[in-house]
Structure 1
Amino acid sequence: MNKENDLYKEKYELYDSLFTQNNIDGILKTVENFLNNPVFILDTSYRFISRSPLARDEISSTETHNEENYLLSDIVSLMKKDKCIDTIYKRTNSFFYYSDQSLIFCSIRINTLTIAYICVLQSNRKFKQEDLELTNILSNILSIQIQKEHLFISNSGLDEEYYLMDLLVNKIDNLEYAEKRLKHGNFSLDKNLLILSIPYKQKYEDYRHNFGLKQIIDGLKRIFGNCISTYHKDMIIFLISNSHQQVISESIKSSLLEFLKLNNLRCGISFVFENLSYIKDYFYQSINTLQLSSYMKINENLNYFEDYVEYYLFHMANNITNDLHKINLSTLVHPWIKKLIKFDEENKGELFITLKTYLENSRNANNTSSKLNIHRSTFFYRLNKIQSLLDTSFDNGNNLLKLELSFKLLSYKLHNYGKLNY
């Protein structure tokens, strides 16, 4: 009976700490008195949000990057391997986890979304079954306290939100001024740009008071690095910039895919582009990609517009409801084609006409060489040069199909309008 009374008293004091302490550090100090073990609070990027007094002395499991403390990479890898991370996101209650160390984990949720989690390390005393109950209560209390403290709210991003919204909604009448505005913040406007959109219905009219949404944005910003974001029409929208043609590298793609899966989210990704004047068209590429993937019942977390160009054209031709934005035809031409055109202009090359002739001649090397009046070795040199420049392989027939469609779009555009704008 005394044991039940003690647990009841501990629960009461823990709930009361929400009012008497009124901050996360104070709440953790209270719960540590009952658990008698270090308590860590981490966000979904494995960064430490807060630590109890005992946990602050525990440095063997932490590493520091950009003056922020994170869970050691080796531990993260082990947790992923053991499916521990998946369990944290799936379960609403705390659970024991045993590996090299004994731990308790529990997600912290806001509006059903996991925005952080609790980690209790067994070090001072062995765990008891009652510890799970206390950790569950701690999770509920921290969910409330995080919202009270506006922990994930930052005013530093407001300017970038307004800048990006202005680009997406209003007509750009002065490109130089638009680019200058973007450079006011920490965002670096590099050569290659990309729009990524994620559907997310939020509860509050002012999304900056939707803590789960803000946490998603902050988590993705850490993955993308150089980017700005905004929220518009139930969409989280990112403008990402990079000096490399592959704006989303394989490592970023891997982290992004994991983040989307864990949060049960999907995204639409535009073509890579360079000219901000056409940002609205590329934004609608990402939106249409999501609509088309849903329409075609393709359940993927990552959806690239380059895989949906022909379906977009089919859907537009068959569309009687006008529910799809009509994208400028120039922006439907694959970035690879534009890269070849630019390379030839700068180097007086003939890569564009070589590839075009190759595709027009059913990918036959002899016929292409004859048509271009060049030696077969010269043709293969150019073809290898093209693949190297585009960082792709034509062994993948799907890549050539994409290019064939782009050449047809380009031919139609030039025939009707006389020039290609992008």
Structure 2
Amino acid sequence: MENQKNFGRLNMAYRLFYNALMEGGIERIVVAANQVFNRPVLVTDANYHLICQFPKASIGNAIWDHMFENKILPAETIWEYQVKYLNDHVDMYKPFYADWGIVEDCPRIFGEITNHKQILGHIAIFLMDQPLEDDDLEIAQIFIDTLRIEITKRQSLYGNWSSSFSTYLLDLLDPSVSFSEKHIARERLQHKIAGNYILITTPNENKASHKAFASYLVIEFAQRYRNVVSVLYEDCMVTLIGGVYVNKGKLQNSSLTTEIINILEKHDLISGRCDCFSQLDEIHLRYRQALLTAKIAIAKKDTSLGTFMDYAPMQMFLQFTGKDIPKIYIHPILDQIRKYDLENNAEYYNTLRTYIMSICNRNTTATQLSIHRNTLSYRLNYIRDLFDLSFEDEKTVLHLICSFLLIEANNMM
């Protein structure tokens, strides 16, 4: 009988959510969820701004009533929620039940609305004194799926779904957004953020704790700083900083950038920064610059903020990682030298690499290898004669440079 009852409840849920979807509107879907669970339900955007609550009244719960009056969660509550419930063992993208910590007096079901590119919003079902039933999480997932369909079917999704400036940044990042929407987003951001700009991209490395902290920082940065807008996009936190000044490739008066990076660094987050730019139309390109730079910084683990020019042109070669294609571009002599080193306990491969990557500067190479110039000359002559290499041939040197960069990029991933 219990299975029949649950099956009937699932049927009712599908029917109610389907009808709500046909009628259209977030509120109708939330009302349907309230009917299924017979408990208070709310939906927020990605930045915890209220989209819809039902019932539309205070219920005596501090969190619910704060949302009802202020239309957004307080930052300290968001942070506590992230720390308590979204750890590395939680899949943020599936609904889960919590009855401990800050929700012990009012257990609830949490969930994320996503479209596999970014988080679109959050749901909360306040079960209060009602026990969790076997099919509650399955119905919560149906609720989330219905919301996602409703949101993504709107061509004007970002403008209507949230009024926060992060949605305008999201519009410019997403290549699928229409030209007209991008035009609106660019105009709005130009009024909010002073030029010139830099973009900082912080991958979350597939850790729920990183995702949770990034969600919190999007709101924290919006509340604390002028000329800063952040958003979650493609499993990254993307932060646009305006009003920067660059002289000879170096940021000037970059205390704001330093403060933001220090916050990220304290929580073991590594980021990449693009070149300075002045046109907001370039944001997607600059995002790619910053993302590839962040991947190199994460692999090298030598800094909390990698800058594009510090690692260029490695970002280009990173595109080949994980594929068989790079092997056909690598100079065949390098495998021979490696094999020779192994068989003869020699160091010719490292000597050649250091020499080539210093653009054939003997003084720099000798210093980096901590050997005498005469020793270096002996090794280079031996390499030239044994492997028939010409260091005077520009194409050979260029081929070797590209080969070493491809090998290094492939070893990073």
What TM-score do you get using the length of structure 2 for normalisation?
Answer: 0.48
Q: TM-score, normalised to structure 1's length?
A: 0.47
